[in-house]
Structures are given as C-alpha cells and as structure tokens.
Structure 1
C-alpha cells in the first residue's frame, strides 16, 4: 500500500478553482490490489480537480492499455482503454448517504486518495468477454490454440450425423 500514497491529492492548500494532476498507472499499481483482474497496465490518468467551497469535483480521464488474457486462445494481449468518469466529494461533519457519485470528506481532512477510484474505473472498463481483435490475424493471437479448438469442435456439426441418437430424435417431427 506504500506505492498508493503517490495517488494522494492534498487539497487544503489549493485555491478555489480548477487544478490538474497527472498519474502514471503501471503493473505496480495493480499489484497492490489482491485478486485484481488487471495485472499489466500502461495508463496515464489525468485528473481535473475543481475545488469549490463545499465540495470537490474530480474529473478523471484515463487512457492507455491494459494486459488481458483472451478467453478463446488464452494468449496475452493489450486492450486499449479510454475512460471518462466524474466523482463528487462533499465536505460535511457527518456521513451523508453515499452513492456512486458522492463521497463524504470530513472538514478536518486535507487530502483525498484517488487510488481506489482509479482501480474501480479501470476494473469496470475490462470487457466481460475478452477476445483478441481480429482472431488469428493479430501477432498476439495463438494460432495453434485456435486450430486445436476448431479440430475439437468438429467440422461444421458433422458429429450430429455420426450419433445414432440424432436419427431417433429426427423421427419425432
């Protein structure tokens, strides 16, 4: 968790208005989170902090690539991501009912840690089904694995005619 301290933004000394921060997100960032879906990353996170008297408005712009494993051929490949998110942090003495867009900061707090937010935004950007782009034609795609999958799948459903149970089922029509 030591490396996550670089993702602290001290807002106490900032004047009211907009301020910009840039963070580099690499493999070390995701190594800090146990069971992370993302293990490899080369991302730049640009944060625009709009400091107001009663709140902070954080606009995130994250761009770069994350390393994923193709669900079909099991090879590693870089997935390009471009993420835009907004987070509002309100100053209050007591906790407000938190939702996804508003977090509460106590009046005595002087900095905000955005590491958890960045991790969440990148993790949500991971596709549910990960596939190499243009299967078989990219340098990342494992052509041997695809050939083996095609071999095991048969050639266009020919196994249907080899199994005598299918003949019995066709008679039911």
Structure 2
C-alpha cells in the first residue's frame, strides 16, 4: 500500500480555487489490489480539484489503455478507455454516513486518498464482455484458438442433423 501513497492529494495548504494534479496509473498500481479485473495498464489520470470553503469538488479524467483478455479467443488485447467522473468531498465535524456520492472529511484530515476512486472508475469501465474487436481480423486475435472453437461448434451442429431414434417412437403416438 506504500506505492498508493502517491495518489493522495494534500488539501490543507491549497488556496481556495482550482488546482490540477496528474497521476500515472500503471501495472504497479493494480498490483496493490488483489482481485482487480485489470492487471496491466498505461493510463493518465488528471484530477481537477476545486477547493471551496465547505467542500472539495474532484473532477477525474482518465485516458489510456488497459490490457484485457478476450472472452472468445483468450488473447490479450488493449482496450482504450476515456473516463470522466466527479466526486464531492465535504468538510464536516460530525460523522455523516458516507455514500458513493459524497465523501466526508473531518477537521483532522489534511489529505484525500484518491487511489480507491481511481481503481473503481477504471474497473467499472471494463466491458462486461471483453472482445478484441473484429473477430479474427485484428493482430491481437488468436487465430488458432478461433479455428479450434469453430471446429468444435461445427461438430456439435453436425450431430443435430442425425435424429435420435427415441423421438421417432414418440411421433407414432399421435
């Protein structure tokens, strides 16, 4: 978790107004999360922080590519991502139930850790079905795997042509 320390923004010394922060998100970032969907990435995260008297408004813009495994041919391929999200952090002396929309910062807090937010935004951007694109026509596709898969599904279709003799006996019942 020490490597995630660089994803903290100290806000106590910042003047009121807008401030920009840039972060590199790569393989070492995702190594800190054991069950991450993403293991390899080359991303740039720009955070535009607007400090106000009672809250912080964080606007995230994450661009780059992540390496995913195609669900069909099992080849690794790059998926381009372009994510824009906003998070609000409110200053409060009393404990308020945290929810996904507002983070509560106490009077003793002097920095905000955004590593968890970056991690969530990237993992939510992963497509439900990972596909390397135009099947068999990209340089990433495993053509041998696709050929094997097509031959297996072709054999199954061939078996459907031969009727099961048990069904013939049932047809005579009519």
Contact 1:24 1:45 in 2 (8 A): yes
Contact 1:70 1:131 in 2 (8 A): yes
1:84-138 alpha-carbon deviations (Å, 9 max, x no partner): 1000000111221222110100012110010000001001111111011111011
Structure 1 counterpart of 2:122: 122
Structure 2 counterpart of 1:148: 148
Change (3 A) 1:165 1:70: farther
1:49-80 alpha-carbon deviations (Å, 9 max, x no partner): 00000000000000000000000000000000
RMSD of aligned alpha carbons: 1.9
- Secondary structure class of the residue paired with 1:116: helix
Change (3 A) 1:123 1:165: farther
Residues in 2 aligned to 1:129 and 1:95: alpha-carbon distance in whole angstroms: 40
- Secondary structure class of the residue paired with 2:160: helix
TM-score, structure 2 as length reference = 0.93
Structure 1 unaligned residues grouped into runs of 5+: none
Structure 1 counterpart of 2:52: 52
Contact 1:18 1:50 in 2 (8 A): yes
TM-score, structure 1 as length reference = 0.94
Change (3 A) 1:170 1:102: farther
- Secondary structure class of the residue paired with 1:154: helix
Residues in 2 aligned to 1:47 and 1:136: alpha-carbon distance in whole angstroms: 38
Structure 2 unaligned residues grouped into runs of 5+: none
